Amino acid sequence: MHPHPSAVELSVLVTVDPVLRDTATVALTLGSPDVAVLRHDLAADGHTMRRVVLDASGVVEDATAELEHACVSCSVREDAVPALARLAATGRWSALVLALPVSAEPLPASRALATHVRAGEALEGLRLTATVALVDLDTLEADLLGDDLVDERGVALTPDDERPLGEALAAQLEQVDVVVTVGEDATGAGLVDRLRARDSRRLHGLHELGVEDLSACRHDTVAAERRAHPLGARNPHRSGTDPNDRSWSLLLSSERPFHPGRLLEHIEHLGTGPVRSRGVFHVPDRPDSLCLWDGAGGALCVADLGSWAEVAGSHSPVTRILVVGAGERAESRHTRDRILDAFGEALTTGIEMADGGAAWLGERDLLEPWLGSRNL
pLDDT digits (tens, 9 = 90+) for 90-114: 999 999 999 999 999 999 999 999 9
Q: Verify that 277 and 185 share a domain, yes or no.
A: no
Please tell me whether residues 251 and 224 are part of one structural domain.
no
Domain contains 343: yes
d(CA 230, CA 300): 14
CATH number where 342 lies: 3.30.1220.10
Whether 256 and 224 map to the same domain: the answer is: no
H-state helical runs in the chain = 18-31, 72-75, 81-89, 106-116, 137-145, 165-175, 186-195, 211-215, 221-228, 260-271, 308-312, 329-346, 368-371
Side-chain-side CA neighbours of residue 203 (13 Å): 18
Residue 66 maps to a domain: yes
The one-letter amino acid code at 340 reads: L
Given 228, 261, 286, the domain boundary residue is 228
Q: Are 180 and 135 in contact (CB under 8 A)?
A: yes
pLDDT tens column, 240-256: 678 899 999 999 999 99
- CATH number where 139 lies: 3.40.50
The stretch 327-339 carries a mean pLDDT of 91
Provide the domain limits for residue 151. Answer: 8-228
In this structure, is residue 77 part of a structural domain?
Answer: yes
Total number of domains in the chain: 2
Kindly report the backbone phi and psi dihedral angles of residue 324, in degrees, each rounded to the nearest multiple of 5, phi listed first: -125, 135
222 Cβ partners below 8 Å, 6+ apart? Answer: none
Residue 57 lies in a domain: yes
* pLDDT score of 239 more than 60: no
DSSP state, 306? E
Residues 6+ apart with CB under 8 A from 38: 51, 52, 53, 80, 83, 84, 87, 96, 97, 98, 99
Q: Tell me whether residue 376 is in a domain.
A: no
Task: Please check the confidence at residue 17 and state whether its pLDDT lies above 60.
Answer: yes
Burial class (CB in 10 A: 0-12, 13-18, 19+), 118: exposed
Kindly indicate the confidence band of residue 4, based on its pLDDT and cuts at 50, 70 and 90: very low
Residues 257-268 have a mean pLDDT of 95
Burial (Cβ within 10 Å: 0-12, 13-18, ≥19) of residue 375: exposed
Note whether residue 2 is domain-resident: no
Sequence letter at residue 65: A
pLDDT for 213 equals: 75
Q: How far apart are the first and last CA of the chain?
A: 51
Tell whether 14 and 107 lie within a shared domain.
yes
Q: Based on the domain organization, do 44 and 180 belong to the same domain?
A: yes
**Same domain assignment for residues 327 and 276:** yes
Residues 115 and 263 in one domain: no
Query: How much is the pLDDT for 2?
Result: 41
Which of 185, 201, 228 delimits the end of a domain?
228
235 in a structural domain: no
pLDDT tens, position by position, 39-98? 998 887 777 889 999 999 999 999 998 877 666 667 777 889 999 999 999 999 999 999
Whole-Å CA distances, 292 to 139, 157, 248, 276, 295? 28, 23, 22, 14, 10
Q: Bridge partners of 48?
A: 66
Query: What's the mean per-residue pLDDT of the chain?
Result: 89
Radius of gyration of the chain (CA): 22
Please report which confidence band the pLDDT of residue 322 belongs to, taking 50, 70 and 90 as the band edges.
very high
CA 286/CA 80 separation, integer angstroms:
41
| Beta bridge pairs of residue 180 | 134, 203
Residues 81 and 118 in one domain: yes
Same domain, 222 and 264: no
Question: What is the bridge-based pairing of β-strands 95-99 and 299-307?
Answer: unpaired
Residues 285 and 349 placed together within one structural domain of the fold: yes
Domain closes at, from 173, 194, 228: 228
Residue 114 lies in a domain: yes
Angle between helices 106-116 and 165-175 (to 10 degrees): 40
Evaluated on CA atoms 85, 88, 89, 92, the torsion sign reads: positive
Question: Cβ(278)–Cβ(294) under 8 Å?
Answer: yes
DSSP three-state, residue 48: strand
Q: How many CB atoms lie within 10 A of CB 304?
A: 20
**Looking at the structure, do residues 150 and 66 belong to the same domain, yes or no?**
yes
Residues 200, 288, single domain; the answer is: no
